[in-house]
Structure 1
């Protein structure tokens, strides 16, 4: 009787083992696929960035203090120019920080440390970026430091006027990410899409790349 039961169950055991093997193979395939996908989409820090790390940290701390969100500023430069000194946009923005000529002239007249108006000079560009971010952040009311930085980044990309218009239309004017910054203040759909995603890309996608550089907003 025992021999009969054993012989009867052997095909079932083999079938169960085959199912388990197929399941394990399927799981392994999914894991491998996800790993490949993450690797394929990983964006390493450009080699040029390392050259300017100390300069960015120094300029950021001069403008923001010792706890300056250096990783956030590094992520912003990454978004703006991928750390290319010769970067130039179709509309005329240039340098690491992608300053427009009008903004270059304005900020050069506002701060003596930026009076030489040299957007293609790396030190000037990084100093201008952190200084302008601070100027914007000081003029925005937000619920916390994270949202204040998000609004400042939005203003850097689209102008302070857009931030103020959105806040007037918003039921949560102190919240940028996922809230006020999703409101179209009367601009084109393309401009809204770019401006809405600008702080999100910097704070959520690129900032983690520079975590070893120092503090970051929205940690």
Structure 2
């Protein structure tokens, strides 16, 4: 394992352990050794995905979430200036928020930072818990893209409820929606572009933004 890889692993471990100061120092050290913003974000997302998975099966206590969130935020503060220079490249606004996902606030925080790193102006709506709240708040913020984070348990039911809210509230024409629906069967057909994990959501968001940009140029 290279020194850079060691630093990134230390960052992942610091977030998992909820060690705020260690996460901040490790992020500084990783950047000093040549790590990129994306490297740091990958290490954070790796830790957050582990926490969300463990929390869903009852193996990561509720009281550990606040320290973990503080560790994530302390690391993100170190790369804030870098994120500020990349966001807005697409001139598109994205919102990210959990819908019924325990520990989803952590994932929302991490994913909104990743979206900023690839060029979105992204808002973290981690306090929302219902589909309607996320959709309405996104509409108020003038979102072009909404990324709801769904739990793996009962994922199909959660997804169908979310789609019902989109159709009932007339949100379909207002923004693109790319739900993160872990564990959803490939056999399920829905009228949305579905991501099975956070990495796939970022890829789909990037692809959509590029197409949107090309379309605008051609109009």
Alignment TM-score, normalising by the size of structure 1: 0.24
Structure of greater Rg: 1
- Identify, as 1 or 2, the structure richer in strand: 2
TM-score by length of 2: 0.24
- Give the structure, 1 or 2, with the largest relative contact order (CA under 8 Å, sep 6 or more): 1
